Amino acid sequence: MAESTYPTLREIRDTHAWKLDYERYLPLSRYVFRPLGFLLTWFAIRIGLTSETVSWLSGFVALMGFLCLISKQVYLLPIGICLLLLFNLLDCVDGSIARSMKTENPYGTFLDIMMAWVDMGFWILIGIMAYHHQGLLYYIDPLGYGPIFWLAIGGLACYFYNLLKYVEMCFDRCLRNDWNNHRTKNDITVMDNGEKQKIKTASHRKVNFSSLRSILRKVNHNLRVRETHYVLLVLAFLCQIIDLLLIAYLFYYFMHTIILVVIYSIRGKQLLRFYKQR
């Protein structure tokens, strides 16, 4: 009878090579959760867990963590936070198992995507947490509305978090391909018009601006990922500044949504003018 062969830790790591560029500037993922995820993948494969089982397990762990966070029992809060960190780790494992064992399938992909969205209500849950535990707040009642104020802040942060994703989805579905094609054609036209030297000069003047924009993109990328949310929650819990975390992310998501709506609307109008001129 042939003996079962399992992928080595190196082979598990190699199956993740395609995602290295995406995680290059995500230090929490690259240096903390991914390496731990590889180890957990190695172990899970050897005890017979499938990627689908791990996906279901990750969703269950997340729900248990959320129930702990909205509990009135303060001793359950650190348990809830630890469960969310475990959820994020398990979310790294299910796909890794599928790639390592070559068992990728539509059902597994469906589960992976669905469970990744389990925490779409994360910020309203943090608002409930702030409502129940005023001892974790820096400003308990800043505007005189009482603890319910933090429920509202959590709800608004959650709303703009999901609205931001919806705005991006609308652009990707309706305008992304046309915009990319339009931009490519414009670049070719500029080069054909003999403006290479102008482009070179303009590019030199924009080096500093491009560097700043690159830094802002990296910061923005980190602010949006789940592992950053959870680690910041740990720090806010330890420092008792849950309210400041809520306010900061409400402002961030609100401004990000407004900026994207403006940018995407401008691009849409440019495409409209382009099509009218054809």
Q: How confident is the model at residue 190 (pLDDT cuts 50, 70, 90)?
A: very low
Instruction: Give the rounded percent of residues in the chain with a pLDDT score beyond 70.
Output: 89
**Where are the extended beta strands (E) located within the chain?**
none
Structure tokens at 124: 């309203």
Within-domain flag for 4:
no
Residue 196 has pLDDT above 50, yes or no: no
Q: Angle CA(219)–CA(121)–CA(69) in degrees, nearest 5?
A: 95
Least confident of 75-84, 124-133, 208-217: 208-217
Within-domain flag for 196:
yes
Q: What pLDDT sits at residue 207?
A: 54
**CATH code at position 43:** 1.20.120.1760
Within-domain flag for 234:
yes
Structural domain boundaries enclosing 115: 9-277
Number of domains within the chain? 1
Within-domain flag for 226:
yes
Within-domain flag for 124:
yes
Position 49, amino acid: L
Q: What pLDDT sits at residue 187?
A: 52
Q: What pLDDT sits at residue 253?
A: 97
Within-domain flag for 228:
yes
Across residues 138-164, what is the average pLDDT?
Answer: 93
Within-domain flag for 212:
yes
pTM for the complete prediction?
Answer: 0.86
Provide the sign of the torsion angle of the four alpha carbons 57, 27, 253, 235, taken in this order: positive
CB atoms near residue 189 (< 10 Å): 10
Nearest to 157 by CA among 122, 131, 133: 122
Residue 274 has pLDDT above 90, yes or no: no
Nearest to 92 by CA among 174, 10, 176, 12: 12
Top mean-pLDDT range of 212-216, 263-267, 273-277: 263-267
Mean pLDDT rounded to a whole number for the chain: 88
What residues contact residue 103 under an 8 Å CB cut-off, 6+ apart?
A: 50, 51, 97
Within-domain flag for 162:
yes
